[in-house]
Amino acid sequence: MSDLLTTSVTGMIAFQRAMDVTGHNIANANTPGYSRQVAEFATMPGQGSGNGFIGSGVQISTIRRIYDSLLATQLQEASSGQGRLDVMSSLASQLDGLLANPDTGFSPALQSFFNSVQDVANDPASLSAREALLGEADGLVQRVQGIDQRLRQIDDEVNGRIRQSIEDINRIAGSIASVNDRIVLAQGRTGQPPNDLLDQRDGLIRQLSAEISLTTVPQDDGSLNVFVGSGQTLVIGNQSRSLGVRPNEYEPTRLEVVYRDLGSDAPLGTGLTGGSLGGLLEFRSQVLDVARNSLGKTALAMATAFNDQHARGMDLRGQLGGEFFGLNPPTVRESAGNTGTATVTADIADLGALTGGEYLLDYDGVTYSLRDATSNQAIAMTGSGTVADPFVADGVSIVVSGAAAAGDQFLVRPTRDTVSGLRVSAPDSQSVAMAAPTRTRTGDANLGDATITQTEIIDYTDPNLTNTSVISFINATTYSINGAGSFAYTSGDPITINGSRFTIAGTPEAGDEFTVEANLGGSGDNRNGLLLSSVQSNGILDGGTASINDNYGQLVTDVGAAANQIDANLSAQNVILASIEDTISSKSGVNLDEEAAKLLRFQQAYQAAAQVVSVTSTLFDTLIAAVRR
């Protein structure tokens, strides 16, 4: 029944609750993630009487949280982007500093080595210069292996960070599930939203979004479901799933992320994006792996090209130049899931065709196919995979032996692991082949004006390379070799004998002779040394368009550009995140001046309602006194 006392008491209770809410706002003015709360007043249903409805007071219908779901979603996305870029910036700056620093980079050591090669070419008989060259070669190997070791350490750091991120994600997911349970219970018991618990859950969602990109779906009972990757459930109601790590099927030391559900592990692959975890995976695949492969490509090209030219020379002992640098062959790793007995080996077929990529060789039970390990794009290859006819693709030859089973896969890594096996193979300074293995000589009794150039080695594997060959002119247009045959002569045309090429120009007389012979005792010859010193700048990669210097320079440029771009994006993302936070703060944050004004208003209203109670008491006392008379 409506009466003055009941009506005034409802006002006192309502204003008391409003002051409680205002006090709660003021107390949490500096609490991170707190959303301002507002007591919603509602008129209580009136009571009917003969002369109309008489109001029965006021009530607090709900305590509403000032919350914008659209802004909350934007905050999640911005936090995810900021977490991704922050971790990528930290790691990319390490990589950039390592490769570009003159004290740790590859270029200064490479330049010092080739300067030493030039010093020996200038004085090929100097043993001290040769010793210095071997010292610079050792220094070059140590430098490039030091860079590779640091890249491996960064890879290990990425593994550690991935493991830590997974632990954080699982912990936060469990907390969200627990808060979900408390929210459902509280809302089911009172029918009202538990605002402080909702703020707590929002804070956990933001923490989670900083670790991984996610999608949230609110439920009618007040719970919030969380999905990651390509739709995998991380939290559903009061239950949470978990992510985990396991060794990569080709490389046990590399961790990959898996989704754990009902005791089984499903790899998430490229489905994970955003947040620290997405940034770690993206940095590893798009920056670190590319850098390691490119460094290996540079080292492989340098060592292979130098070895090839060194083999075309002759050392101080009169021996053909052997291997100067030792190298590991390309790495082939079989999948842990393979069931067949096939083995795969690989080698470099063409430096100029190398891409620096990695490949997966698949067997479907009938044929082999090749695809890029990163993009999964099919790679065309020739050959049948045998020793006599290997598969060839992108400058790599692949030989398969044994019987593969359908579904077997092999990872072919042509360049990355080259660095770990790089070494100086030349046994001593006298083994450095600075001289050309053959030389030419003009007969002392020659009467014509024909002259002969020094030899250029075309095929150092020719078994007759150092055999003596005498070119005798039968007449001005015909010559024989070692007294046999009849060969047409054209002035200036190249002549190739036993792997050596040279030219004779001019007009010879009958009986004129020219000799091609082993360059024995040629300690002062620097012809091969000059060619060795030019290896640094020769176009040997990317179809003959890029030198060793160009390739490493491109690596430094690419990493530097990536680091700068990531930093720029991070700065922009920080601005976006701060802007969203400011917008949320202006909308949901506590304004102390506003709350103080509300507190004063509610206090005055409370006092007015109390005055009504006082009036009611006076009226009641008057009524009692009248009845007593």
pLDDT at position 50: 67
Residue 169: half-sphere exposure toward Cβ, Cα within 13 Å: 35
pLDDT at position 109: 92
pLDDT, mean of each 10-residue run, the chain (629 residues): 76 91 93 93 80 81 92 94 95 92 87 95 94 96 94 95 95 96 93 93 95 93 92 92 91 90 76 90 94 94 94 93 92 93 94 92 94 92 94 95 94 92 93 95 94 94 94 95 94 95 96 95 91 93 91 92 95 95 92 93 90 81 73
Helical spans, DSSP H, in 248-370: 275-283, 289-310
CA-to-CA distance for 254 and 276, rounded, in angstroms? Answer: 18
Range 74-85 burial, b when 16+ CB lie within 10 A, else e: bbbbbbbbbbbb
pLDDT at position 4: 78
Beta bridge partners of 502: 495
At 57 the three-state DSSP class reads coil
pLDDT at position 268: 82
**Taking the CA atoms of the chain, what radius of gyration do you get in angstroms?**
41
CA-to-CA distance for 222 and 164, rounded, in angstroms? Answer: 30
pLDDT at position 2: 55
Can you give the pTM of this predicted structure?
0.88
